[in-house]
Structure 1
């Protein structure tokens, strides 16, 4: 992955590094809300030195293609904090999938549903196909349905907040990855590893 594939955010997301001086803050971008929304599902190392924020849609084939490489790179690195931003912008079924994944978080099962939905091949995946995948994920479906109803308002609010955050930094589509001070789209395993290393080099230099 060559460096020309990265779009710098001028330090916007360099955790703890000069955020107060970022020119984008003056435009109303809440950096801390993007990095540390307590309602957003997270993975990896909660004390990692680089934060990756992944804006994803369960009907995005490029999200699905890069998801295994992202997970592998995060797992092998051991020092990455990964934040998932469900951003269902492609189809109505995308919204359904995001709602189900976020409802699963209440029983500690976001990862199970997320992985199940990302594993469905192709685009234009229907709600029926998503439900079938969720049923095979090992999640407690009765609890999932109850949590979906009980937390519908909170889930809807989070999805709206994700949308507002994406718009605030001018995102154009999925997947989009914010990696340290960089914004980029589709990456493979080697690309993610290089992005992690470059983010650390940039942070060390500041």
Structure 2
């Protein structure tokens, strides 16, 4: 009986060890390898998962939506005040790790990652600051949605539009934007006027220029402190990068 009990305990212990070998690698998953960037200096890149890609990020972003009009913001022009363009007010926040998120409303990977990033931001609170950049790469509907969200921001309704566009099964068109304006409570006539405004066009052009500067090939993409991430990334890895940026002092690039 004692021998049988001993054998049983050995089998149980062996199973636990075998299970441990399957679990431990994920628990102690190391950081991905970083590749330093020559430009902009001080930043580093890490690869993520899947991306959605489209056409030239400068196309269709000028006032009036003409794809033949070249953008007026070049990547080189951003170097002098890069962190302010990238992180906006978060660039001046002490003790906060800023995250610049670049997404297209109709990129399926963006919809998943943006939701997870929003939840992480709510959980970490003042430890991080997320700046959302519109990077419409997937056609005219994406550009229309991006312009609408930025126009809504002029009426302090960006978050409501942003969340609605990300979760809606419908593609943005004139009728949908009218209904969405009514539901959220924004001035629709002002929204339409702001969508074609100089300020909205410039904001889109700056985000497009940033995407060129960091050589993004699609969405989603992020810059966490000084770490550039292309594609989806796990919450575990993102948390570790945030911690590392805080420990190492990301603001050295600014």
Q: Equivalent residue for 1:74?
A: 121
> Which among 31, 41, 48 is matched to residue 3 of structure 1?
31
Query: Structure 2, unaligned stretches of length 5 or more?
Result: 1-28, 45-74
- 4+ long deviations beyond 6 Å: 40-43
- 8 Å CA contact 2:214–2:228 kept in 1: the answer is no
Larger Rg: 2
1:125 aligns with 2:153: no
Pick aligned residue for 2:135 from 87, 90, 102 = 87
Report the TM-score, using the length of structure 1 for normalisation. 0.74
Corresponding position of 1:168: 213
Q: Which residue of 2 aligns with 1:138?
A: 184
For residue 246 of structure 2, the aligned residue among 181, 200, 204 is 200
| TM-score computed with the length of structure 2 as normaliser | 0.61
CA RMSD of aligned residues (A): 3.3
Uncovered stretches (5+) of structure 1, i.e. residues with no partner: 14-26
What are the superposed Cα offsets for residues 66-120 of structure 1, whole Å, 9 maximum, x if unpaired? 1121011112112112111111111110000011000011111111101111113
Contact 2:135 2:207 in 1 (8 A): yes
Would you say how many aligned residue pairs link Structure 1 and Structure 2? 186
Following the alignment from structure 1 to structure 2, what is the Cα–Cα distance between the partners of residues 96 and 60? 14
Identify the residue that residue 182 of structure 1 maps to in structure 2: 227
Q: Within 5 Å, which residues of 2 pair with 1:12-161?
A: 12=43, 28=76, 30-31=78-79, 33-37=81-85, 49-78=96-125, 79-121=127-169, 125-127=171-173, 131=177, 134-135=180-181, 138-140=184-186, 143-150=187-194, 152-161=197-206
Q: Deviations over 1:146-182 (max 9, x none)?
A: 1441461211121112111211221111110000121
Q: CA deviation at 1:198?
A: 2.2
Given that 2:104 and 2:134 are in contact with CA atoms closer than 8 Å, whether structure 1 keeps it comes out as: yes
- Alpha-carbon separation, structure 1, partners of 2:110 and 2:244: 22
